[in-house]
Amino acid sequence: MTVRVVIPNDGTGSPSAPLRLTSQAAATVKKRFEHASQDLTGHLNGMAGLSGAISEGAGELSGDIEADVLAFLQSWTSAFDVLSTSTALIAGNTNNLAVDLDALDRGSTIDLSGS
């Protein structure tokens, strides 16, 4: 995929002029991050089954590794949750000129729908 960046003609040729993706390129990038977010959420949902399979595979030793399996599940759940949220935020902010970082820092609800 080729991403074409449009540099607005502000008359100065300033490299600090805002850069914008074409609407087609922005839609492509947004769709890829939306799909990545959905994929990560799907993997997150599959982690419980995987941790169960690990315990089952350990057989009579499953009690000995129970705490480790729980730590495994919790760490991957946290990682997939953060990655899924991050990719959704990137998708929602693709080709937008500003992100309200104060609202993000306060833990406000962010509309990721793009509308």
Q: What is the pLDDT of residues 73-85, one digit of tens each?
A: 899 888 888 888 8
Q: Whole-prediction pTM value? A: 0.59
Residue 44's closest CA among 2, 87, 83?
83
**DSSP structure class, residue 60:** G
Range scoring the smallest mean pLDDT among 4-18, 24-38, 59-73: 4-18
Is residue 88 within 8 Å of residue 112, measured between CB atoms? Answer: yes
What percent of the chain shows pLDDT beyond 70?
Answer: 66
More confident residue, 109 or 37: 37
Inform me whether the pLDDT recorded for 1 exceeds 80: no
